[in-house]
Every structure is written in C-alpha cells, then in structure tokens.
C-alpha cells in the first residue's frame, strides 16, 4: 500500500509531511528547505517555475509571477476580495468564463485551482523523491472558515495534481492534532490562533484520550500576513512619493521589489526594533535614477497593523462566545502561521488570555504534521482516534421576501440532523422551490447558493395551510442532504448537495490533460 501524505497548502508557503515509523516527519524539498513558497511563474521561454525558482525571479518577471492565489480560490470575480487583491498586484487578474478570477500570464490564463494544483504537484514531487515511491493519496488542509465552493476548488486542485484527496481537514484542527500527538491521557481545552499569509482562523477544541472535539470555529478568509505586507508597501510608496514626487503603484517590477522588501522588513522587526529598506534604482526621474531608503521601526509597523490585530482578537472573542467559554477556561493557546511570530500578535494574545501562548510547535510546519497524522489515522484501522468537527457556516433555505431561514447554526457538531416546518405563500400553490443556502446573513442573496430543487404535488389549499417539512442532514464528512416532505400527502423530494467549485468537469479534465505534459513519473 502506498503512503498517504499530509499537505498544508498555504497562501505564502506550503509544506508536506508523512508519518514514518510511527513519527510524523516534515519532508524537505530539493534545496533542503522544510517549506516551499506557494509561487508559480511562467518564464519568457514558456518554462514553468514553482516554489523557490519562481520566487528568485519574481522581481525581473513580476507580471508573470503569481503569489497568494489561495486567497482567491473558490471566489467570484466580482467579489470585494478579488478587487482588494488586484490592488498593488503586479500580475493581471481577469474574469473567467465561469465568473471566476483567473491570472493572466503572458497570453495564457490560469485558474486559481490550476495554480493550487501546480503547487500541490510540487509537494507531491518532493514527497516522491524523499520516499522513493509513487504518491497517489493525500490529506489536504484548508482554513476552517472556507465555504463549500472553496473546499471543492481545493479538492479539484488535488485531482488536477494527480492526487486522490482522502480528506479535507481544517488547518486549526490539524495543528491541534500535531500538538496532542503523543500526549497520553491529557485532557485540555485548547485554542488555536492561526494567522497565516492569507487567512485567519481561530478554533477551540477539547482534547481527551482518543477524542478531539471541535467546540467552535471562526475566522476571516481574507486576513493574513499579505495584509501586513500591503500596509507596509503603501507606507513605503507614500514615503517615496512625498520625497521624490513619483508614484510607484503603476510599476510592476517596483511593486514586486517593494513587496519583497516589506516582507523582509516585517520579519526583521520581529527580532529588531528598526530596520532599513534600501532599494536603489527603484525609479527614474527627469534628472536620473531615484533610490528608496527608508528607516522602518517596529513602532511604525505596529501602528500600521494595530487594526488588523484588533480584528483578530474580535474574532477570538466571537469564537469563545460561540463555545460558551471565557478566556480563563482555555488551558493552552497554540499560535500557528508565520504571522503569529509578530511580537504585537503575541502580546495581544497574552494580554487577552492572561497567559503566554504555547511555543512548543513550529508554526510553519505544525499544520502539515497534523495532516500527516490524520492521513495515518485513515490508514490504520487499529488507531483509536475520534475527530468531531463542526460546520463553520450556517445552513438554511431561502424564504418568502428574499429572506434566509437558518436550520443549522454555525459551529454545530457533525453529524447532525435538523428539520423545520414551512408553508405556502399563495392560495392553491402546488409546488415550492427549496433553495439551500450557506452563510450568516438573513438576506438570501448575501449567502452562497449550494443547490435547489422543487417539491411538487402539494394539495391545493389556502396559503399558510399546507405543511412542508424541510430536513437537513450533514454527515461526518460534511456531505449535506436536504429533503422536503408534504406532511399531508407524504410526497417527498430530496437532493444531496455536492459542493461545486468554479470549474466544470470538462475544464478540470482539460487542465489535467494539459498539465500531464509537465508531470514527471516516479517508478513504484
């Protein structure tokens, strides 16, 4: 039987791990690094560059180098998140035929799922070279607050990469699995604060012997280290414009240099109180080349980022409220994601909980390790581990007047079944349309439409008299089944809501066929 790997498909960096001789191991790439940049580039000669190779040439090939595409996976082109991502972005984002965002590199467009697949294929290659065998199956992590479309798009990416995705597991849950690995008879309530490159999640879990139960989860799928970088880039642009009178926003190469410098400065300021950003020949003015030289202090960065950190703590408070817990009832706070290394983040978390966060895990590797542990649990029938997760977003149906009625609230433990009786809105109405929605808004159109079906054959009667029972069932894998039954006639209709990504089956197959040209085979 071939190995099953665990992959942390990150916004900024990705990581792959496997359980070897009973111990989870992070697999280094060819260069010896434990993480690989989640970057993809198309060179002038058409060659595809992934990871460190893509990052090294990003400045000279900025308009054809994609980074942070995970933030856009499963989204619609017209969304506010895509508009925000387009700001200060050196590569072009266009609208695909399905209304999804696509990256224009040269004369070719790439879907977000396709970019993710290229990164996953690189992780698969790294694992195959390390293990010396073909890899066909994987557990892949996603932010806990990803909706169905984002999760399905991630599974589509796995399929394109030639992987059977055995399970999609939430990143904070994976981190908790890694934290709890090898701890015998430890009963704790832990909170995972996961601030990565593009997303933020907070999950509260109860850990006992062989049981990991998620109590509540909350998050923001468009908040992370990229936003800290963007704030610092804007600060540098404004400083340069004030001194030189030149706006760098329209220069792709300058923007990429600024982004790299901002990311480095941000990391430096986790260990120093100030750093210098020095970018010679950043622009050309009427009297020759211009250079950027700015001193950035930790105080400046913390002032710029204070609102973002406050937003994360507001989300922490919401998650605690949903779990019915107070800060002093949390035994351990686990910091995950590279941005959690920021001193301001650690200080705010410590102040909120009245204790220092746990630092016994590597924030860059812990999610991949947890995914590998989950992968091993799926293979090992003798392993006694029960994972109880929750639905991150509420589920309901559209009702009269454009409203949404929730049947299953967010943070409900899976599996679950809920039913509610609805009625007609017109006299002699013989059919009703059931529109299955996901989201927190009371307005139907502000939620995601997962599916719809029609229940016909309702007996003719005055409006308000017929009784139609709508039932939701969600299994442990998150598969949603919805049924509607006329209580007077017994007539019933149902659907299984299969999550839909932004790609059709035909387009997925086309991309698979095209990308097979770039695949390297490993002998069994």
41 neighbors 54 (Cβ within 8 angstroms): yes
The residue from 100, 148, 156, 194 that is catalytic is 194
- Residue whose tokens read 């989950």: 374
Q: Where are the beta strands (DSSP E) in 86-136?
A: 92-95, 101-105, 108-111
Residue 477 and residue 94: Cα distance in Å, rounded? 33
192 neighbors 336 (Cβ within 8 angstroms): yes
For residue 8, which of 191, 202, 198, 226 has the smallest C-alpha distance?
Answer: 198
The residues that bridge with 211 in the sheet, in sequence order, are 208, 386
Residue 245 and residue 237: Cα distance in Å, rounded? 10
Between the two ends of the chain, the Cα-to-Cα distance in Å is 11
Angle at 304 between CA 301 and CA 199, to 5 degrees: 95
Is residue 171 among the annotated active site residues?
yes
Say if strands 164-170 and 188-195 run parallel, antiparallel, or are unpaired.
unpaired
Residue 369 and residue 355: Cα distance in Å, rounded? 26
448 neighbors 148 (Cβ within 8 angstroms): yes
The residue from 55, 70, 155, 159 that is catalytic is 70
Is residue 194 among the annotated active site residues?
yes
What lies within 8 Å, CB to CB, of 505 at 6+ separation is none
The tokens for 509 are: 């197959």
Where residue 46 falls (left for φ over 0; alpha for ψ -120 to 50; beta otherwise) is left
Burial class (CB in 10 A: 0-12, 13-18, 19+), 59: middle
Say if strands 188-195 and 274-285 run parallel, antiparallel, or are unpaired.
unpaired
141 neighbors 9 (Cβ within 8 angstroms): yes
For residue 364, which of 108, 45, 84, 28 has the smallest C-alpha distance?
Answer: 28
The residue from 148, 171, 227, 389 that is catalytic is 171
3-state helix, strand, coil in the chain (%, to 5): 35, 35, 35
Is residue 440 among the annotated active site residues?
no
Is residue 310 among the annotated active site residues?
no
Catalytic residues: 8, 70, 171, 194
């Amino acid at each position: 039987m071939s190995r099953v790997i665990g992959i942390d498909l990150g916004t900024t960096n990705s990581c792959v791990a496997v359980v070897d001789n009973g111990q989870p191991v992070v697999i280094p790439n060819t260069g010896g690094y434990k993480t690989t940049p989640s970057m993809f580039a198309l060179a002038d000669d058409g060659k595809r560059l992934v990871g460190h190779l893509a990052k090294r040439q990003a400045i000279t090939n900025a308009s054809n180098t994609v980074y942070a595409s995970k933030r856009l996976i499963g989204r619609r082109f017209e969304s506010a998140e895509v508009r925000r991502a387009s700001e200060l972005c050196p590569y072009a984002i266009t609208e695909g035929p399905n209304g999804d965002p696509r990256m224009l590199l040269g004369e070719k467009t790439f879907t977000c799922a396709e970019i993710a697949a290229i990164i996953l294929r690189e992780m698969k290659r790294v694992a195959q070279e390390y293990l010396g065998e073909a890899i066909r199956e994987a557990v892949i992590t996603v932010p806990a607050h990803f909706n169905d479309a984002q999760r399905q798009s991630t599974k589509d990416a796995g399929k394109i990469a030639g992987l059977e995705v055995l399970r999609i597991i939430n990143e904070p849950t994976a981190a908790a699995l890694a934290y709890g690995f090898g701890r015998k008879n430890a009963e704790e309530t832990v909170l995972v604060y996961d601030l990565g490159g593009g997303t933020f999640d907070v999950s509260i879990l109860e850990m006992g012997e062989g049981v990991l139960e998620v109590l509540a989860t909350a998050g923001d799928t468009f908040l992370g280290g990229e936003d800290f970088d963007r704030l610092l880039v804007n600060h540098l642009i404004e400083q340069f414009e004030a001194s030189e009178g030149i706006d760098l926003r329209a220069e792709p190469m300058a923007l990429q240099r600024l982004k790299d410098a901002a990311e480095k400065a941000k990391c430096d300021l986790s260990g120093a109180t100030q750093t210098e950003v020095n970018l010679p020949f950043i622009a050309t003015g009427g009297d020759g080349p211009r250079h950027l030289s700015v001193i950035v202090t930790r105080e400046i960065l913390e002032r710029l980022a204070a609102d973002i950190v406050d937003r994360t703590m507001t989300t922490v408070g919401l998650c605690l409220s949903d779990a019915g817990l107070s800060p002093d009832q949390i035994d351990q706070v686990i910091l995950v994601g590279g941005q959690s290394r920021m001193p301001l983040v650690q200080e705010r978390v410590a102040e909120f909980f009245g204790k220092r966060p746990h630092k016994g895990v590597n924030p860059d590797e812990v999610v991949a390790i947890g995914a590998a542990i989950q992968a091993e649990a799926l293979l090992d029938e003798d392993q006694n581990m029960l994972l109880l997760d929750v639905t991150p977003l509420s589920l309901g149906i559209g009702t009269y007047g454009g409203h949404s009625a929730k049947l299953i609230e967010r943070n409900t433990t899976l599996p679950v079944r809920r039913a509610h009786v609805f009625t007609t809105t017109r006299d002699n109405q013989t059919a009703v349309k059931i529109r299955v929605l996901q989201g927190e808004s009371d307005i139907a159109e502000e939620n995601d439409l997962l599916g719809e079906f029609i229940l016909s054959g309702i007996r003719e009667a005055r409006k308000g008299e017929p009784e139609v029972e709508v039932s939701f069932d969600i299994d442990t894998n998150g598969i949603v089944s919805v049924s509607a039954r006329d209580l007077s006639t017994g007539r019933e209709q149902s659907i299984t809501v299969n999550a839909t990504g932004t790609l059709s089956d035909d387009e997925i197959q086309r991309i698979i066929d095209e990308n097979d040209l770039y695949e390297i085979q490993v002998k069994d």
